[in-house]
Structure 1
Amino acid sequence: MNPLQLGPFLLKTEVLILGLSALAGYIGLRIRLNRSDSDHSDQAGVTDKLVNGFLMWLIIWKLSIVLFDPVSVTWSPLALLYFDGGEKGLWLGGIASGLYVGYGIRRSRISVTAWIDYVSISWFCGSAAYHLLNLLNGFHEGAYHLASSFIILLLAGMLYKRQKRGDSLYLLQILLWFCIGQILSLFLNEGRTILIMGFSMSQLLYLVFSCMLLALAHKTEHKRKAG
């Protein structure tokens, strides 16, 4: 992506897109929280944890190049400003921020289902904005960004429309369809790196998540019928 000239400064388009995507995720979260019945202190706790989790993900993603390509950083320390840890760094940051948010969930008065709802809404809104902004920025991998944004916006709308936020089975089904949608849309990404059997690392991880969500959904449905 070409950098933007802002006076004497150069701003990478990627950074601008990430910032706007984070803002979209924050707005989506605030709208969801305002429609919930939780008190202001709980809402503030959710917002703080998710914002801190995003910042943790961003920092780890950017600095993970030190782990995955230390030679480049040694030869040119400025690489920390212009490069990142790539797909591996994305997942490393995601795991770390996920553990951080998970710790916050355990110490919160808000139910786990509500937390997953809030995280999902924030992620869906931010991801949809990311793909749409990339689509507007140019038609590079346009089919992938178009398919991903359509799927995510559809699922986000279904989640917003659902009035019964404590329905864990419905939430698991939404997340399952999100993972399946990501697996399929990534086939349209010509820049993906094939790992095995035509699948990239991201697709394989989404496949693992899909199996876990399917098992959880089946278990939840079985408990509901038994009860």
Structure 2
Amino acid sequence: MLIQIGPFAILLKWILLGAAIVIGLVYIKWWMRHSESNKMNKKVYDLLFNSLILGFFIWKGSLVVLEPSLMMKNPFSLLYFTGGRSGIVLAIIGSIIFFFFKAKKLNISHLFVLQSVFLFSCAVLCGYHILALLFIHLNNISHIFLSLFTIIILCISLIKPKVLSQKGIFTSLILFFFLNLILSIAFGKIGEKIFIFSLEQWFYFCSIIVSLRYWDKTSVY
């Protein structure tokens, strides 16, 4: 479904994603106010916001890599189009690398950084999948499973803060990415594949491997 905003036609799902990001920012701001690391809150929040801006530009600019022929025919298409789902994957990877690299230089506690990114991501995903259920009415099974999963994680993290230990976070991530991989194989659209997986599915698979690697590490960077 397309929404017309002036000369721009934007897919409804991207508008919902933008709304979900706002929900994530509000949630993480609330969580930080109730955390014990008040001195680091503003640094982490500002870094998170800057990473989101970088991610937006990567998402828009990924069109150059993903659709070079389109860019060569009409360079102004960058204003009207995005990199789509594959671009989102590249944006997420770029934002995460930037976030953890800058956090290391700022000497911010790695566990607090990990907790902030994890809870923000859960809040965004929860918000997006609930909004998608209400407004898009496609892939309802995936949206139901993923929204329930993130709601459960957010509730458990509030009731039992121990789930926000490094092991708890990476255990949740492994389960989440595995669930996404299964749902994308079972209900996802069949698009261009690299070997046996799409770019999105490779992202889930590699994320599981990375999470397993850092599950029992003393530091994530």
Q: TM-score, normalised by structure 1?
A: 0.83
Preserved CA contact (<8 Å) 2:24 2:123: yes
Contact 2:13 2:136 in 1 (8 A): no
Alignment-mate amino acid for residue 50 of structure 2? N
Letter in 2 for 1:3: I
Letter in 2 for 1:35: H
CA deviation string 1:177-213 (max 9, x = no partner): 2212211222343324363686433223322222332
User: Which residue in 2 is equivalent to 1:80?
Assistant: 78
* Residue 4 of structure 1: how far off its partner (Å): 4.3
**Shift in Å at residue 43 of structure 1?**
0.7
Shift of 1:14: 3.6
Task: Give yes or no for the alignment of 1:20 onto 2:19.
Answer: yes
Structure number with the bigger relative contact order (C-alpha 8 A, sep ≥ 6) is 2
Distance 2:93 2:178 in 1: 20
> How far is the alpha carbon of 1:66 from its aligned partner?
1.5
Query: Which protein is bigger by CA-based radius of gyration?
Result: 1
The gaps in structure 2 that reach 5 residues or longer are none
Distance 1:115 1:151, change over 3 A: same
Give per-residue Cα distances to partners, 1:69-95, cap 9 Å, x unaligned.
122123334422332113332222222
CA RMSD of aligned residues (A): 2.5
Cα pair distance change 1:210/1:103, threshold 3 Å: same
Q: How does 1:175-214 map to 2 (within 5 A)?
A: 175-193=173-191, 195=193, 199-214=197-212
Pair 1:196–1:62, CA change in 2 (3 A): closer
**Unmatched runs of 5 consecutive residues or more in structure 1:** 221-227
1:160 aligns with 2:154: no
Deviations 1:143-188 (A, max 9, x none): 2222222222222222233324762222221222221221122234
Count of residues paired in the alignment: 217
- Measured in 1, the distance between the counterparts of 2:85 and 2:157 equals 28
The alignment's TM-score, normalised by the length of structure 2, stands at 0.85
> Which residue in 2 is equivalent to 1:2?
2
Q: Which amino acid is the alignment partner of residue 31 of structure 1?
A: W
Do the aligned partners of residues 166 and 157 (structure 1) sit closer, same or farther apart at CA in structure 2, a change above 3 Å counting?
closer
SS for the counterpart of 1:46 is helix
